[in-house]
Structure 1
Amino acid sequence: MHRLSLLACLFLLPLAGCGNDSAPANAQPGQTAAAPQPLAQTPQQADADSHASPKPAETKTFRDWIVGCDNGLACRAVALAPEDEIQPTLMLTLDRAAGPGAVPEVHVTGQEERLPPLTISVDGKQLAKGGTAADGAVQFDGTDAERIAAALGNGRRLAVSDDTGKAIGTVSLAGAAAALRWIDERQGRAGTSGALVARGSKADTATAPALPVIRAVPVRGEAALLDPARVAAMKREAGCETDRDLGPPQAKPLGDRTLVLLPCSSGAYNLMMAVFTVRDGKHTPAQFDAPSGMSEDGSPIQNVVDGSFENEVLTSFARGRGLGDCGIRQEFVWDGTRFRLSRQEEMPECRGSKVYLPTWRARVVR
């Protein structure tokens, strides 16, 4: 339901703007359910497709912080900007993987690229100085990150300054303790010596869950030529806008068929593209194992938003508003029959952060 709520937000504000249980994928019609197997059976091959049905996890907001964990229990907490600050000068995120001994990482980002060294303080007490450059952010790890994480749950405000001592900005810690406690609970660390906030005397022994496996197939070949009559037919089937030119379709090789990303409708900053495949001179809607883009559950024709197909990965990025500080990012891979969700990140709060929360992840084997 959380995805539906976010998509409703995407649809209801100025044209795409915003402040299930199912049978196993490998079941065949008419098959009888397999009898329970003895425990001493040969384990499934590590790279065998697990045919898991994607179930992206929920996110949770605690005042000025939001948090999410994916199905592999990789968790992220993100500081949100004040409600009245559209483009904050400073943003803070904390990442922690599942499993014993996993150390948190703290990232400082902003509207301008920051370079180390930076100084981190909470309520006037200096906690760390330095950091390393990492994809436009400054990253703190090891003992520095552990000190920062421990202070987040006990302070009121975090401040960052540059190497000259000049203040860069501050972050509210209202809700940080609850967000980190939520991570402790999800990762099975509450009451252990490895918890971020909910510390106890028990050993930190909870292991990370295994990720579902997707066996993707090679998508080499040549894309078929799309004649105007076929493009017009696909537009009619998808109910695309016809009163303006949204650009030509993209045609990409997909092994024994061609992938077609058909510009279909658009808002202020989202271009919805209907997804078809062409094979043996016939086009059909592409099949997906999870709702894509702004598609509704059960929609016969799926779409991706500002989609592309590069390096054998189909991407979609549905923005909640033009800044890109809320929405849904998705990645899909082709298994020879349908597109499978391999990664999803979400940000339901339109409050400054362009760092999204992980909600689903699979291990892709090619």
Structure 2
Amino acid sequence: MHRLPLLACLLLLPLAGCGNDTSPSAPQPGQTAAAPQPLAQVPQQADADSHMPPKPGETRTFRDWVAGCDNGLACRAVALAPDDEIQPALMLTLDRAAGPGAVPTLQFIGQEERLPPLTISVDGTQLAKGGTAANGAVQFEGSDAERIASALGNGRRLTVTGSGGETIGAASLSGAAAALRWIDERQGRAGTSGALVARGNKADAAPAPALPVIRAAQARGEAALLDPARVAAMKREAGCETDRDLGRPQTKPLGDRTLVLLPCSSGAYNLMMAVFTVRDGKHTPAQFDAPSGMSEDGSPIQNVVDGSFENEVLTSFARGRGLGDCGIRQEFVWDGSRFRLSRQEEMPECRGSKVYLPTWRARVVR
């Protein structure tokens, strides 16, 4: 897994960009937010739990672009802001699902919400005008999206103007061709008529992989009350900070036990919460099938960062810096004995994007 380099970045380099800025000719492994999740075409499958260990996909940085794909080969490429532009005027993302005939979707996100129509140009040539509003972004689909995507790999600079002709922002296309070519290869489209960059004469026929299935247990009941002695014991076991008050533990019903999110330590913008369960008057560290939050592989007590448990989903968001433009977002579901990773998104580069790259996804059945 590529988790450790990104985790080291979160712990040691909170104010710097964290990924590898590599050239298209020799990419190296890289270490969620306005845009929706990428659409995924997946084959029909049974609802039985697949018990598949999570293996998040990798991310790659190509100069001013970064790309990532999850295990279902839903891929995303993101244009990065210049190193000296902390809050970019424009962010551009491209999503494409796996499977024959999947069409890319492009979204343009500004510091302020923009409404269509927008005009998209590459190196002064107008490619599309219009778009639809989508969660604070302007989205292009269909033939417009295909035309824009095709031009990204052959241009130097993309510009966006508003309905009155005003310039909204621009994005560097340095590295875009390599990022899209990498996505073509990951999705099995290189050399096919459906490739974004690496086009050929073969048919676009590679199927989308089936997603792993998690059968989640219902988290009902009543949460147990925690007495001060139990809270103190959990803090000792987790090695929590004791010289300041980090807040009260969160408790949530978890079927036949109680989930405890125990504030344990904090930095400038991350609150680490040790995760326990209480059952029959005893507390034990909660079990996970993947490292959570800023936990290291094999850690006996896992943590989540700024965690919560709502709608039967345990979340964690470990930021690389306070802006939230780099880090790891995770979602876990309870299967009756442990928490299972159901979604993970990452951004290894601290360069303006609050839209993260998908690296793991499971289908949750309740």
* Fold in common (TM above 0.5): yes
Take 1:202 and 1:2, find their aligned partners in 2: how far apart are those partners? 32
- Alignment gaps of 5+ in structure 2: 18-43
Paired letter, 1:294: M
**1:257 and 2:257 matched:** yes
**1:2 and 2:2 matched:** yes
**How does 1:251-290 map onto structure 2 within 5 Å?**
251-290=251-290
Q: 1:188 to 1:45 in 2, by over 3 A?
A: closer
Contact 2:118 2:130 in 1 (8 A): yes
**1:295 and 2:292 matched:** no
**1:359 and 2:326 matched:** no
Contact 1:260 1:278 in 2 (8 A): yes
Take 1:102 and 1:135, find their aligned partners in 2: how far apart are those partners? 22
Aligned to 1:346: 346
**How does 1:310-325 map onto structure 2 within 5 Å?**
310-325=310-325
**How does 1:125-204 map onto structure 2 within 5 Å?**
125-204=125-204
Task: Tell me the secondary structure at the aligned position of residue 264 of structure 2.
Answer: strand
Task: Tell me the secondary structure at the aligned position of residue 178 of structure 1.
Answer: helix
1:114 CA drift (Å): 1.5
Take 2:271 and 2:295, find their aligned partners in 1: how far apart are those partners? 13
Contact 1:289 1:339 in 2 (8 A): yes
Give the share of equivalent positions with the same residue, in percent: 88
**1:11 and 2:11 matched:** yes
Contact 1:332 1:339 in 2 (8 A): yes
Aligned to 2:24: none
Aligned to 1:85: 85
**How does 1:107-118 map onto structure 2 within 5 Å?**
107-118=107-118
1:117 CA drift (Å): 1.0
Q: C-alpha offsets along residues 15-52 of structure 1, whole Å, 9 cap, x if unaligned?
A: xx553xxxxxxxxxxxxxxxxxxxxxxxx970000000
**How does 1:226-265 map onto structure 2 within 5 Å?**
226-265=226-265
Paired letter, 1:10: L
- State the structure with more CA Rg: 1
Task: Tell me the secondary structure at the aligned position of residue 93 of structure 1.
Answer: strand
Aligned to 1:306: 306
Take 2:227 and 2:189, find their aligned partners in 1: how far apart are those partners? 58
Q: Superposition RMSD on alpha carbons, in Å?
A: 1.0
1:3 CA drift (Å): 1.0
Aligned to 1:58: 58
Contact 1:152 1:177 in 2 (8 A): yes
Normalising by structure 1, we get a TM-score of 0.92
Normalising by structure 2, we get a TM-score of 0.92
Task: Tell me the secondary structure at the aligned position of residue 149 of structure 2.
Answer: helix
Task: Tell me the secondary structure at the aligned position of residue 155 of structure 1.
Answer: coil
Task: Tell me the secondary structure at the aligned position of residue 236 of structure 2.
Answer: helix
Over 3 Å off, 4+ runs: none
Aligned to 2:207: 207
Take 2:308 and 2:227, find their aligned partners in 1: how far apart are those partners? 21
Aligned to 1:219: 219
Paired letter, 2:321: R
Paired letter, 1:253: P
Paired letter, 1:249: P
Contact 2:99 2:208 in 1 (8 A): yes
Q: C-alpha offsets along residues 58-106 of structure 1, whole Å, 9 cap, x if unaligned?
A: 1000000000000000000000011111110000000000000000000
Task: Tell me the secondary structure at the aligned position of residue 329 of structure 1.
Answer: strand
- Alignment gaps of 5+ in structure 1: 20-43
1:13 CA drift (Å): 3.0
1:110 CA drift (Å): 2.0
Take 1:155 and 1:55, find their aligned partners in 2: how far apart are those partners? 35
Q: 1:45 to 1:345 in 2, by over 3 A?
A: closer
Aligned to 1:30: none
Take 1:113 and 1:267, find their aligned partners in 2: how far apart are those partners? 31
Paired letter, 2:286: A
Paired letter, 1:178: A
Q: C-alpha offsets along residues 292-315 of structure 1, whole Å, 9 cap, x if unaligned?
A: 000000000000000000000000
How many residues align structurally?
340
Paired letter, 1:75: C
Contact 1:10 1:18 in 2 (8 A): no
Task: Tell me the secondary structure at the aligned position of residue 180 of structure 1.
Answer: helix
Task: Tell me the secondary structure at the aligned position of residue 147 of structure 2.
Answer: helix
Take 1:343 and 1:219, find their aligned partners in 2: how far apart are those partners? 19
Take 2:216 and 2:255, find their aligned partners in 1: how far apart are those partners? 11
Take 1:299 and 1:327, find their aligned partners in 2: how far apart are those partners? 20
Contact 1:12 1:18 in 2 (8 A): no
1:2 CA drift (Å): 2.1
Contact 2:45 2:210 in 1 (8 A): no
